[in-house]
Structure 1
Amino acid sequence: MAQFDPRRQPMRLAPHVFTAAAAVCVALLAGRVYQPARADEAPVLTAEQMAALEVSAFASAGTPAGLTAPEAIPVQIRRGETFEQAVRRTGIGADEARAVAATIAGVFDLSELRAGLKFETAISQPRGGRGDARLIGLTMRTGPATQLTVSRTFDGALRLRSLEERVTHETVVLKADVSGSLYATAQRMGSTPKVTRRAVQLFSGKFDLDRDIRASDDFVLVFDRSVTESGRTVESGELLYAELKGQAFYRFKPAGASEAQYFDASGKNMRSSFMRTPLDRGFRVSSSYGFRRHPISGYQRMHQGIDFAAGTGTPVLAPADGVVVEARRWGGYGNWLRIRHSNGLETGYGHLSRYGSGIRAGQRVRQGQVVAYVGSTGASTGPHLHYEIWRGGQRINPSGVRTEEGTILAGADLAAFRAEKARIDRVIAAGGERRAAPSTLRPAQG
């Protein structure tokens, strides 16, 4: 029998053998049962979904220790200011502003940014008010359909994403009943300012927009535009068709013409020699031509024009082509403008707040051009436009001026017009037309 030696550890084989055997069994069993997990392929996100995720990321970026919850702070670059300087106005430190600029500079030339550009930031302030703020996120639009987003990751690093939205080119058919003013209704229904102004100018040649248009009147506008996935208009096209109270206008450019014009269904030029009113929105006739009690003197006297009540700054349009004769201060008329037109007609505008760009004596103007803005200068009880018309040096009633229309298309021009009219009619019958461009969504470098 072997002698027991207390200096030596006893060997116990059984537990080790059993442990090893159990491990082998578990491994063999796991090899038969375990199957690797399969991850479903993530769906491709649209630009709108990605934008929503970016907003959500800013909100859920977490409140870093010692900082308050992120606060949205809009920033606009000032004249002579760099991007870094603009970012620093949010309260973040110089080093952090430099890091943000360096992150963006990897994919975009910050020297191209101009004064007036706006971007959004999410900023956390230090608790207790001591120390610099910290940037959690920043979103900046770099083009009509592109934007850059900087976000803070959980480890504190800055991450840059570049988003490019898909742009859809579409022809819109807008149908609506007038509610309030024609201009406001068109804007509310989705028309662009450029298209609305053109439509109102066309209608102004046929109707007195203050007296002839009623809430029950319906109108149709057809125009081109380009929109992003988020519904933002990035390019406004031309007005192709406009209709109001049975008067329809088709856009067409005759061969050799310098610009497109508008014609009725038969090919007759619908351009009137004179617009009925020099305002296209937001006005009412407050005083007509004729005898009235003067609002300031209180005496009964002849009012040799028409007053249009409108807000200060409302654009005043030239009712026809002409040449500026006067643009000066003139007694009770305040800031005064006079334009000479063809056929011995002249128009005058009083109480203006200011003149349009480049308007001075001798300057040529075109029909529909903004020549001034409504005000209350001179002898005036409130903002309005005093509008006069002379014929042969004598003031006449502006509402009695007759307008003349252009010629009728013929030959090859008429055939081309009919083809374009048929195309526009098909678009109207279809309710519009869409032509989508491919979209890309790519992460930026860095």
Structure 2
Amino acid sequence: MNRKRGLLFSIVVLVLVGLGMKSTHWMQEQEELKPEPPRSQFQVVQDLVMKGETMLAIFEKHGLDISELFAMRDVAADVHPLRAIHAGQPYRLTLDSESRVNSFVYWINRDSYLQIKRVSTGGFHAERGELAYDKKLMTLSGAIADNLVSSVGEDREHLLLALNLSDIFALDIDFTTDLRKGDTFKVITEGYFYNGRFRKYGNIVAAEFTNNGELFKAYRFEHDGKIAYYDEDGNARKKAFLKAPLNFRRISSHYSKGRFHPVLKIWRPHHGVDYAAATGTPVCTVGDGTVVQAGWCGGYGKMVVVKHPNGWHTRYGHLSRIAKDVKKGKRLEQGQIIGNVGSTGIATGPHLHYEVRIGDKSVNPLTLKFPKGWPVPRKEFPAFCSVRDKMNTHLSATGICEIPTPSGQTTIKTVMDSDERDGISRTALLGSENKNNM
């Protein structure tokens, strides 16, 4: 699954480079999202942070008093340090008639900004603001013409949507080899709006994909603090375990009942698989679970042991370091980084020792047939069915609704109609929910 996502991500990167995203568009978008309009008596300076530019350089460029920068730096230190500005991000300075700073706004990312304002005492006050989005559920539908990325849409938000959609159905569909021209998809996803205009997509809450005549469905469902995607029968849409806990690896020692130990010089069982990899290579947990051990373990060196449902355990040894937040009792999600490859303990070189145990018995992870992900718990199944049935109603809808486009314009089309711009239909659905207030 990781390999599939990696290939699709490569396609995404190539498309992004081809698009040649313009700074002027970014600036225009931030102008629309500014938290407060400047007063008419103030001079407004808007620009992008240039490569290698610091706040000191920005102040010198605009001929501003450096002493004011020091005061701004101090109040921003615990909010968002001014040394942490990045090239390409927009900022806005509001200056009074004597070119003194009245306010400074720096866009940390698409959703957040740092605002520093002069107060009545003459000093400054800094705060971090979040855009007050309205959240709506939307339907999107389309057909495959070439690949998933070009069929969903090639702007940033649709590239991310395509990646998420491919992840959800990766258990059944290889999106690099299995797609057929004319395959169809429909997605119900969260959409975030600001001042009535579409800004970005959120979580996919339900989806269906018809591949070579076969229909697959997925529903996002939360229970016991865990969020996952399931098919119509409540079966997980991913396997319970990844095939390996790291990428870019080669097997240096297989699972064996009798192996000559290269350091101890004795014959003894090797209850796991050794993956040779460079020191520092990230290691992830292969499945959801809880950490039962994280620390030094004799010949295994630094090791993490994770307990999974149904009596399964996985062990990760010889780590160079264990992630800071990985401690006994910590709940982990599949794919979460737990440490890095090393050669601690008894080891001839950097590698990961990886074991799988079912109960007290070790098993060969290379030949083991891993189960599908854990289904919806029996006690939660009625609640899941309620969500599934509601989403099925909207997936089958063909009414006429408002369709927001990435440019912010709106048109009226039937759900199954195609948007001429990129072959995908976008439909606002189910009302809105205000995310937060500024």
Which one has a larger percent strand, Structure 1 or Structure 2? Answer: 2
Larger Rg: 1
TM-score (norm 2): 0.50
TM-score (norm 1): 0.49
